[in-house]
Amino acid sequence: MWADYDIREINLDSPREVADVRTFLAGFDLTFAAVVDYTIAFYQHDKIIATGSLAGEVLRNIAVSPHLQGEGLTAKVVSYLIQQAGQRGIYHYFIYTKPSAAPMFTALGFKELARSEPYAVLLESGIGSIDDYCREIANKVKVLPAGSRAAVVVNCNPLTLGHKAVIAKAARENQGVVVLVVSEDKSLFPFDVRFRLVREGLAEFDNVAVLPAGKYIISAATFPGYFTRGEATIAAQTQLDAAVFARYIAPALGVTKRYVGEEPYCAMTGGYNDALSEILPQYGLALTVIPRITIGGEIISASRVREFIRQDNWPAIKEMVPDTTYHYLTSPQAQPIIERIKASDSRH
255 neighbors 149 (Cβ within 8 angstroms): yes
CA distance 247 to 113: 9
How does pLDDT run across 109-167, given as a tens digit for each residue?
999 999 888 888 899 999 999 999 999 999 999 999 999 999 999 999 999 999 999 99
Residue type, 242: A
For each of the domains in the chain, give its residue range(s) and CATH number, in order of start: 6-128 (3.40.630.30), 131-342 (3.40.50.620)
205 neighbors 93 (Cβ within 8 angstroms): no
Per-residue confidence band for 14, with pLDDT thresholds at 50, 70 and 90: very high
How does pLDDT run across 195-242, given as a tens digit for each residue?
999 999 999 999 999 999 999 998 877 766 544 444 456 777 888 899
> In sequence order, which ranges of 250-301 are alpha helices (DSSP H)?
250-253, 267-279
Q: What is the pLDDT of residue 177?
A: 98
